[in-house]
Amino acid sequence: MGRLLQIRVSAWTYSEDEVRKTWPSLWKLSWQDSDAIPKKGVLELADAVFDAVRAGLIPDNQAKALKENAEKADKLRLAIEKALGDWQPGEADKLTYALEDTLDGLEDIAADF
């Protein structure tokens, strides 16, 4: 890294449409097709689901059903960010699979609401 130029390792979602198609129930539960959220990727979805559960933005019965996996998704999201910050892209890559699997599980639960 230079004095002024910083090099970063990062992760981003290449297609928000794929996020909507893959986890439609979570998308609707978290954002309800709102345009107010400028970025709707995988990491943002994990954060939004956790916030909805933690902050009481969804009914209690839904929050209870989602709580365990929502907390797991948030921990994985934070672990990905830490791995990227620590220049460990291999570790971040492994964690992305675990996060996507966790979101799959959350989708299965949310689809029943």
CB 25 within 8 A of CB 111: yes
Cα 62 → chain centroid: 17
Q: Which two tokens stand for residue 111?
A: 């689809």
Report the domain count for the chain.
Answer: 1
9 is a domain residue: no
Residue 6 belongs to some domain of the structure:
no
- Domain of residue 68 covers 16-110
pLDDT digits (tens, 9 = 90+) for 3-42: 888 777 899 999 999 999 999 999 999 988 677 678 899 9
Higher pLDDT pick, 98 / 38: 98
In a domain, 45, yes or no: yes
pLDDT of residue 33: 65
| The pair of three-digit structure tokens given for residue 65, joined into one six-digit string | 């059903």
Q: Where are the alpha helices (DSSP H) in the chain?
A: 16-22, 24-31, 42-54, 60-85, 89-110
Write the pLDDT tens digit of every residue in 70-92. 999 999 999 999 999 999 999 99
Residue 30 maps to a domain: yes
